[in-house]
Chain A
Amino acid sequence: MKLDARVPAGPLADKWKNFKASVRLVSPANKRKYEVIVVGTGLAGASAAASLAELGYRVKAFCFHDSPRRAHSIAAQGGINAAKNYQNDGDSVRRLFYDTIKGGDFRSREANVYRLAEVSVNIIDQCVAQGVPFAREYGGMLTNRSFGGAQVSRTFYARGATGQQLLLGAYSALSRQIGQGRVQMFPRHEMLDLVVADGKAQGIVTRNLVNGELKAHAADAVLLCTGGYGNAYYLSTYARGSNATAIWRAHRRGALFANPCFTQIHPTCIPVSGEYQSKLTLMSESLRNDGRCWVPKHAGDRRPAGLIPEEERDYFLERIYPSYGNLAPRDIASRAAKRVCDEGRGVGKSGLGVYLDFSEAIGRLGQKTVQERYANLFDMYHEITGESAYEAPMRIFPAVHYTMGGLWVDYHLMSNLPGLFVLGEANFSDHGANRLGASALMQGLADGYFVIPYTLGDYLSQQKPSGPRNAAETEAFWAATEDVQNRIRKLLEVRGGRPVSEFHRQLGKILWDQCGMSRTRKGLEQGIEQIRQLRKEFWEDLNVPGSGEDLNQSLEKAGRVADFLELGELMCRDALERDESCGCHFREEHQTAEGECARKDDSFAQVAAWEYSGEGKAAVRHVEPLKYEEVSLATRSYK
């Protein structure tokens, strides 16, 4: 299969401008003839649904939550990047572009990333106009903080709840369109299949989570904005409901899945405290602006932090990466933390943790300033651990946080299936092998507010509006609905002995061990075997109580875990086939003398896009070569 990314011609800086100037349009009178389905109402979905409805398209939006406002974008803490250069510190579109592509270890598509940097400035304008209360200086101007992987301050923030404020902005725009009748909102509806007919995505099948009703919805285009799949690891910073079902179902219907092994492990999370743990809580990267990471110099030093003298502390990030110090990118910081713990220098009861120390910052700035900057994070830490980070250093450890992989899309954000668009974390496009902090919010909103309104029009202008259809009477819709029905029945009929959470926890452990921060050929091969075995057990011994005709949370979870059990194998396959190290993907076989990633640009400067080939059959790996016209592939150095 040849993958055409449809990148416009011309110099990098002019591609998006040229594209917009020549894009094919749908006239205002015709827009209302087209129906668009948006699945997911996080930053990408809500902003897309609102923007498309404003343009005049008829939009149907779906989310599994009780309200679109609950999507997990809401939990992003630290901020959103934009190349505004309000700080006069040398930022520019070009620099944001370069930082992002370098941060991704040169495994993302140049043109997409450049466009992302370009529209980043519009996002801030749009959000401020919607009433997002970003942090301000006394003079009334917007203020910025620094984030990992950058030497400028370009991160806009709203205390420690930037994602919440941005999502509420997009949600308010969406609410306005719902109130005006331009968007039909379906909360508590989960997409369980994609309908493909005549080679095009034409609709979806949903389950009403309250009464179990299955329904097919037809449209001229389907937008999946359903977020990432990091919950495959069970323990992660994701919301408990975050899942891969929408994109995995689309994948099974023919959409290619790109770079599934690219998962971000975030360095600053609260360490696991026990077996029962259901969730890991992130401590925003912004803390690394003022917090210093350290462990004892000597393995086995179990003294409390306060009793370890300065000269016996190893500020390992500052030592290894002097120019970025504590603000080294996430993959690098996580691996460094793992390494010192592997050396037996980890702290806390489990030995799986490093200190994030604010005593120097408190001394320099005073407790009041530190409180102003991070109070909610310190409170959160206190709530969870019962410890005060003002008195003793925080303990942190890496945790799964984001997935750079996702459905393959071209420059238009359209998958290989015509009519299926994928936005935000659900696609693979902009972050390569590692995402920089404060870039996820940027990408979600860029896709939804500023990219899809152009690219979707370009597609629809070439389609005849299908008009109102009775979806249930069309063969493809009817068949897809029946597939969903059968699958639900199958899940309910296993009637084994184990709750779904048990399988999920086991899958998570396999993935964390074999496909986590550090990977080996042997481990991955073993992981694939283990997952296959677990999948077999799942279908033999799963217990889903209740029926499919009412609110049944076990059934919802079981369907999602069943998909993770398939996706997990693909993640390992992808990690196995990518026989190099890059960004988050660290294959122990490929490292430099200093233990950093050794990329193989000759053979792996490419996107791996996997094609589903049937139950129990090996997926087929396709390749989109990554051509760099303007940047030269360099070895990433943050030293």
Chain B
Amino acid sequence: MKLHLKIWRQPGKDHPGKLEMYDLDGLNPDMSFLEMMDVLNDRLTREGKEPVAFEHDCREGICGSCAMAINGEPHGPNDGATTCQVYLRSFKDGETLTVEPWRARAFPVLKDLVTDRSAFDRIMQAGGFISVNTGQAPDANAMPIGKETAEQAFDAAHCIGCGACVAACRNGSAMLFVAAKVSHLGLLPQGQPERKQRVRRMVEAMDAAGFGNCSNQYACEAVCPKEISADLIARMNRDYALSLVPKL
């Protein structure tokens, strides 16, 4: 099959960028989108041109490295999938695809399709943990945790930190990411002692990183490769307010 690609090329952080057109032919519909990028890059290399820089690693949808907007949709057209899990059979023969990096002030472009997502790490460093030193833990079965609770915590904890939520949001908001982590730890009994402090610190770090605010449209939820629910944002909003009420 044949595809026309318009790919964002930008040599470096402080350089201007532009969309460039590439035509690819002889593609196999069973090829993954990133394998198509490999094919393109090998071709560019042979032509003596610089290949397109893009992030990818595990190629099985769990590391959260890959990050491209295909036709304005982070991770492409499929629900519950990362870019690496998009296969060419999702597109029509001869289709034109515009491929751009995540767009958000908090994720500056480093080169081509590579952005700097370290803001997420800074939020985690501010409070995305349970403070337990190695060796301090009691027996794992000492604290029963209901199956439902464990499942809910898992659903939140499944976030891969890819940043698609921010990329899809009209406001470049990171609330789904932060809410997922706040909820994962806030749902579990182990997370209770630091619950108030955690949500406050993470929200403050989120604001400091230059993300926008939630205006309740839930584009984040629609593109999340792990289908994390925007309900968690409601939960975080509640947790945040309650964290300010003393003795509660």
User: Do the two chains touch directly in the complex (Cβ atoms below 8 Å apart)?
Assistant: yes
Q: Which residues of A contact B (CB under 8 A)?
A: 47, 50-51, 54, 65-72, 74-75, 84, 86, 122, 124-142, 158-159, 161, 163-165, 168, 171-173, 175-176, 178-179, 185, 187, 210, 239-241, 273-274, 276-279, 281-282, 379-380, 383-384, 386, 449-450, 453, 497-499, 501-502, 543, 545-546, 550-551, 553-554
Q: Per-position contact with A for B118-141: 1 when CB-CB < 8 Å, else 0?
A: 101100111111111111111111
Could you tell me the distance in whole angstroms from the C-beta of B59 to the nearest C-beta in chain A?
Answer: 4
Please determine whether A176 and B154 come into contact, CB atoms closer than 8 angstroms. Answer: no
In the assembled complex, the Cα of A140 lies from the Cα of B158 at a distance in Å of 20
In the assembled complex, the Cα of A554 lies from the Cα of B42 at a distance in Å of 10
A279-B59, A551-B53 are known; give 15 further A-B pairs, CB within 8 A.
Answer: A51-B134, A54-B133, A69-B121, A131-B185, A135-B150, A137-B147, A158-B154, A168-B157, A173-B129, A173-B132, A239-B63, A274-B31, A380-B61, A384-B87, A545-B45
Please determine whether A136 and B147 come into contact, CB atoms closer than 8 angstroms. Answer: yes
6 shortest A-B CB distances, which residue pairs?
A: A140-B144, A179-B125, A129-B137, A172-B129, A499-B45, A125-B137
Given the contacts A70-B57, A273-B30, A383 and B129 also touching, CB distance less than 8 Å: no
In the assembled complex, the Cα of A67 lies from the Cα of B124 at a distance in Å of 11
Please determine whether B58 and A72 come into contact, CB atoms closer than 8 angstroms. Answer: yes
Q: Per-position contact with A for B149-189: 1 when CB-CB < 8 Å, else 0?
A: 01101100110110000000000000000000000110010
Q: Which chain A residue shows the least CB distance to B139?
A: A125
Please determine whether A453 and B134 come into contact, CB atoms closer than 8 angstroms. Answer: yes
In the assembled complex, the Cα of A181 lies from the Cα of B67 at a distance in Å of 29
Could you tell me the distance in whole angstroms from the C-beta of B26 to the nearest C-beta in chain A?
Answer: 10
In the assembled complex, the Cα of A279 lies from the Cα of B33 at a distance in Å of 12
Given the contacts A54-B133, A172-B130, A175-B124, A69 and B62 also touching, CB distance less than 8 Å: no
Q: Which chain B residue shows the least CB distance to A137?
A: B147
Please indicate the chain B residues that have their CB under 8 angstroms from the CB of A138 in the complex: 146-147
Q: Which of A70, A84, A122, A379 has the most CB of B within 10 A?
A: A70
> B89 near A: Cβ within 8 Å?
yes
Please determine whether B131 and A543 come into contact, CB atoms closer than 8 angstroms. Answer: no
In the assembled complex, the Cα of A165 lies from the Cα of B158 at a distance in Å of 8
Please determine whether A128 and B154 come into contact, CB atoms closer than 8 angstroms. Answer: no
Please indicate the chain A residues that have their CB under 8 angstroms from the CB of B125 in the complex: 175-176, 178-179
Given the contacts A136-B150, A187-B121, A553 and B38 also touching, CB distance less than 8 Å: no
Could you tell me the distance in whole angstroms from the C-beta of A525 to the nearest C-beta in chain B?
Answer: 31
Please tell me which one of the listed residues B12, B39, B117, B135 contacts residue A550 in the complex, with CB atoms under 8 A apart.
B12
> B56 near A: Cβ within 8 Å?
yes
Please determine whether A128 and B137 come into contact, CB atoms closer than 8 angstroms. Answer: yes
Q: Which chain B residue shows the least CB distance to A273?
A: B30
Could you tell me the distance in whole angstroms from the C-beta of B98 to the nearest C-beta in chain A?
Answer: 22
Given the contacts A172-B128, A240-B56, A278 and B35 also touching, CB distance less than 8 Å: yes
Please determine whether B190 and A133 come into contact, CB atoms closer than 8 angstroms. Answer: no
In the assembled complex, the Cα of A449 lies from the Cα of B135 at a distance in Å of 8
Given the contacts A138-B146, A175-B121, A546 and B31 also touching, CB distance less than 8 Å: no
> B49 near A: Cβ within 8 Å?
yes
Please determine whether B45 and A75 come into contact, CB atoms closer than 8 angstroms. Answer: no
Please determine whether A66 and B118 come into contact, CB atoms closer than 8 angstroms. Answer: yes
Please determine whether A133 and B150 come into contact, CB atoms closer than 8 angstroms. Answer: yes
Q: Which chain A residue shows the least CB distance to B126?
A: A179
In the assembled complex, the Cα of A279 lies from the Cα of B58 at a distance in Å of 8
> B96 near A: Cβ within 8 Å?
no
Please determine whether A131 and B191 come into contact, CB atoms closer than 8 angstroms. Answer: yes
Size bracket, chain B contacts: 35 or more
> B41 near A: Cβ within 8 Å?
yes
Please tell me which one of the listed residues B45, B58, B110 contacts residue A543 in the complex, with CB atoms under 8 A apart.
B45
In the assembled complex, the Cα of A70 lies from the Cα of B55 at a distance in Å of 11
Please tell me which one of the listed residues A122, A125, A140 contacts residue B147 in the complex, with CB atoms under 8 A apart.
A140
Given the contacts A75-B62, A129-B136, A129-B138, A499 and B41 also touching, CB distance less than 8 Å: yes
In the assembled complex, the Cα of A165 lies from the Cα of B133 at a distance in Å of 18
Please determine whether A66 and B53 come into contact, CB atoms closer than 8 angstroms. Answer: no
Please indicate the chain B residues that have their CB under 8 angstroms from the CB of A450 in the complex: 134-135
Please determine whether A171 and B38 come into contact, CB atoms closer than 8 angstroms. Answer: no
In the assembled complex, the Cα of A498 lies from the Cα of B47 at a distance in Å of 10
> B34 near A: Cβ within 8 Å?
yes
In the assembled complex, the Cα of A161 lies from the Cα of B78 at a distance in Å of 21
> B68 near A: Cβ within 8 Å?
no
Please indicate the chain A residues that have their CB under 8 angstroms from the CB of B126 in the complex: 179
Please indicate the chain A residues that have their CB under 8 angstroms from the CB of B39 in the complex: 276
Please tell me which one of the listed residues B41, B130, B147 contacts residue A131 in the complex, with CB atoms under 8 A apart.
B130
Please determine whether B53 and A553 come into contact, CB atoms closer than 8 angstroms. Answer: yes
Please indicate the chain A residues that have their CB under 8 angstroms from the CB of B184 in the complex: 131, 133
Please determine whether A54 and B46 come into contact, CB atoms closer than 8 angstroms. Answer: no
Please indicate the chain A residues that have their CB under 8 angstroms from the CB of B213 in the complex: none
Please tell me which one of the listed residues A127, A161, A278, A383 contacts residue B85 in the complex, with CB atoms under 8 A apart.
A383
> B32 near A: Cβ within 8 Å?
yes
Please tell me which one of the listed residues B50, B64, B136, B150 contacts residue A69 in the complex, with CB atoms under 8 A apart.
B64
Please indicate the chain B residues that have their CB under 8 angstroms from the CB of A165 in the complex: 154, 157
> B83 near A: Cβ within 8 Å?
no
Please indicate the chain A residues that have their CB under 8 angstroms from the CB of B89 in the complex: 386
Please indicate the chain B residues that have their CB under 8 angstroms from the CB of A74 in the complex: 58, 62-63, 160
Please indicate the chain A residues that have their CB under 8 angstroms from the CB of B145 in the complex: 136, 140
Please determine whether A175 and B34 come into contact, CB atoms closer than 8 angstroms. Answer: no
> B116 near A: Cβ within 8 Å?
yes
> B77 near A: Cβ within 8 Å?
no
Please indicate the chain A residues that have their CB under 8 angstroms from the CB of B161 in the complex: 67, 69
Please determine whether B60 and A129 come into contact, CB atoms closer than 8 angstroms. Answer: no
Please indicate the chain B residues that have their CB under 8 angstroms from the CB of A142 in the complex: 140-141
> B104 near A: Cβ within 8 Å?
no
In the assembled complex, the Cα of A416 lies from the Cα of B129 at a distance in Å of 36
Please indicate the chain A residues that have their CB under 8 angstroms from the CB of B59 in the complex: 239-240, 278-279, 281
> B228 near A: Cβ within 8 Å?
no
Please determine whether A67 and B157 come into contact, CB atoms closer than 8 angstroms. Answer: no
Q: Which chain B residue shows the least CB distance to A179?
A: B125
Q: Which chain A residue shows the least CB distance to B111?
A: A551
In the assembled complex, the Cα of A387 lies from the Cα of B190 at a distance in Å of 41
Q: Per-position contact with A for B84-97: 1 when CB-CB < 8 Å, else 0?
A: 01010100000000
- Listed A/B pairs (27) with beta-carbon separation below 8 Å: A65-B65, A75-B60, A122-B135, A125-B140, A127-B140, A128-B143, A132-B157, A139-B144, A140-B147, A165-B157, A172-B128, A173-B129, A176-B125, A178-B121, A179-B125, A187-B118, A240-B56, A274-B31, A279-B59, A449-B134, A450-B134, A499-B41, A499-B51, A543-B46, A543-B48, A545-B45, A545-B50
Please indicate the chain B residues that have their CB under 8 angstroms from the CB of A171 in the complex: 124
Given the contacts A65-B65, A164-B160, A278 and B38 also touching, CB distance less than 8 Å: yes
Please determine whether B65 and A70 come into contact, CB atoms closer than 8 angstroms. Answer: yes
In the assembled complex, the Cα of A490 lies from the Cα of B58 at a distance in Å of 29
Please determine whether B42 and A499 come into contact, CB atoms closer than 8 angstroms. Answer: yes
Could you tell me the distance in whole angstroms from the C-beta of A378 to the nearest C-beta in chain B?
Answer: 13
